[in-house]
Amino acid sequence: MLAVGLLTLEIYVPGITSLKEKRGIVKPLVVRLRKQFNVSVAEIEDQDQLGHTALAVACVSASRDYAHGLLTQVAESVAAWRLDAELVDYQIELL
């Protein structure tokens, strides 16, 4: 059975003073997620706000368990990486 997984990451980016600085933190994170996990990633909320952003991470799999496990691994990796940003919360949905 086809499974589409959606992970929503709420991220806090402290200490920035411009949207350019924010992009300098968020863009490498998006690239790293795409490359390391082979998932689709997009910034979906708060693009024009300093300090906060939300990313959507999507995957398609033949297995619901695999999709859930992959997205859990993505969230745990973001939380563990030493970034200039902090993972505040995440939510996984399977469609």
Higher pLDDT, 82 or 94: 94
Q: Which residue range forms the structural domain that includes residue 35?
A: 3-94
Between residues 46 and 92, the one the model is more confident about: 92
Cα 54 to Cα 93: distance, rounded to the nearest angstrom? 15
Q: What is the model's pLDDT at position 74?
A: 97
CA distance 52 to 44: 11
Closest to 9 measured CA to CA, from 40, 54, 52:
54
- Looking at residue 90, its pLDDT comes to 97
pLDDT in tens, 6-63: 999 999 999 889 999 999 999 999 999 999 999 999 999 877 888 899 999 999 999 9
Please tell me the predicted confidence (pLDDT) of residue 48.
81
Domain count along the chain: 1
CATH of the domain at 61: 3.30.70.1120
Q: Band the pLDDT of 83: cuts 50, 70, 90.
A: confident
